[in-house]
């Protein structure tokens, strides 16, 4: 199975060499790397070109564009790619050895799949964070919470167990059905996830195969103020899609598949970023709308 790794790059010159190298050193033979630099103003492009040059036998593409946002860079990278399996890697993170091979083994010959793995949180220098670091504690608590969820889909609804778009691996046919990543500043990953869950039950490979780098310029820090509004919008659009277009995935977490249980679950459980229940973000008026939200069109 050919695998396309898409890296949306933006001002991570000090990290991007390790990012690129972690892909090109993977032991899966049929692999391509597509890097989309989204208007970096540092030395990212030079670093990318130099690192790619060290792997002349690998299939690589570097596309440079003006800044349009992470969602647009990902969509462009996928448009330029050719693999049946698509994975994403953010430009400040890196893959651990064997990640691609393990994902391909799990995907087998299926036409629809969505797979993500465990995460190793690291600092600026790439060393694993201490057990008592706030991010380590947060992730450990998240894993503990989702153990009580009945399905992986519910775990993604409640806590976004995947954590980041850089942990995504999915079939091209799934991407084509979803129509790409939508224009959200904070939740473009969770929106894509929830729309995917409606079509196919995701698989969690419980092995840390992605290193997520924690540093002072993580984009999530600057976007926290947008989180609640975007989460509410994504959640209600997802529920409308389930209600009005059905759920090819019979385990998708929605009232139609889980009558009674869904209501109880959303009243008792909260999102990881606040104290209010999931139900507090569900708009009853929206669920009564006659028009279902449409799938998005990929940005170019």
- Give mean pLDDT, residues 126-136: 93
Residue 220 confidence (pLDDT):
52
Helical packing angle, 152-159 and 134-146, nearest 10°: 140
Residue 35 confidence (pLDDT):
98
Q: What is the CA radius of gyration of the chain?
A: 19
Residue 214 confidence (pLDDT):
94
pLDDT by residue (tens digit) across 65-109?
A: 999 999 999 999 999 999 999 999 999 999 999 999 999 999 988
What's the mean per-residue pLDDT of the chain? Answer: 91
Residue spans per domain, the chain: 3-217
Residue 272 confidence (pLDDT):
76
Residue 225 confidence (pLDDT):
62
Q: Over 90: is that where the pLDDT of 223 sits?
A: no
pLDDT by residue (tens digit) across 2-31?
A: 999 999 999 999 999 999 999 999 999 999
**Sheet-wide strand order for 94-95:** 59-65, 31-38, 3-9, 85-88, 169-171, 114-122, 203-213, 94-95
Residue 216 confidence (pLDDT):
72
**Domain at 3-217, CATH homologous superfamily:** Spore Coat Polysaccharide Biosynthesis Protein SpsA; Chain A (3.90.550.10)
Residue 290 confidence (pLDDT):
41
DSSP string, 203-247: EEEEEEEEEEEP-TT-HHHHHGGGHHHHHHHHHHHHHHHHHHH--
């Amino acid at each position: 199975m050919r695998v396309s790794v898409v890296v949306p790059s933006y001002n991570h010159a000090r990290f991007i060499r390790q990012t690129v190298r972690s892909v090109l050193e993977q032991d899966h033979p049929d692999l391509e790397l597509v890097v989309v630099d989204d208007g970096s103003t540092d030395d990212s492009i030079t670093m990318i070109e130099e690192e790619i040059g060290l792997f002349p036998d690998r299939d690589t593409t570097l596309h440079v564009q003006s800044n349009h946002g992470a969602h647009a860079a990902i969509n462009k990278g996928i448009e330029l790619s050719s693999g049946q399996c698509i994975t994403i890697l953010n430009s400040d993170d890196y893959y651990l050895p064997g990640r691609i091979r393990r994902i391909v083994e799990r995907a087998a010959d299926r036409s629809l799949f969505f797979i993500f793995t465990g995460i190793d949180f690291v600092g600026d220098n790439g060393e694993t964070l201490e057990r008592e670091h706030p991010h380590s504690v947060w992730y450990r608590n998240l894993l503990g919470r989702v153990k009580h969820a009945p399905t992986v889909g519910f775990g993604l609804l409640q806590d976004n167990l995947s954590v980041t778009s850089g942990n995504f691996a999915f079939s091209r046919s799934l991407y084509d059905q979803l129509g790409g990543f939508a224009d959200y500043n904070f939740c473009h990953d969770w929106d894509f996830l929830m729309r995917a869950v409606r079509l196919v039950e995701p698989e969690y490979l419980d092995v840390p195969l992605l290193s997520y780098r924690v540093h002072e310029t993580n984009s999530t820090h600057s976007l926290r103020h947008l989180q609640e509004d975007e989460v509410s919008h994504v959640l209600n659009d997802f529920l409308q899609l389930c209600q009005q277009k059905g759920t090819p995935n019979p385990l998708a977490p929605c009232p139609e598949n889980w009558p009674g249980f869904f209501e109880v679950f959303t009243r008792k459980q909260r999102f990881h970023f606040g104290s209010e229940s999931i139900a507090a973000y569900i708009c009853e008026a929206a669920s009564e709308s006659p028009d279902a939200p449409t799938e998005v069109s990929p940005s170019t």
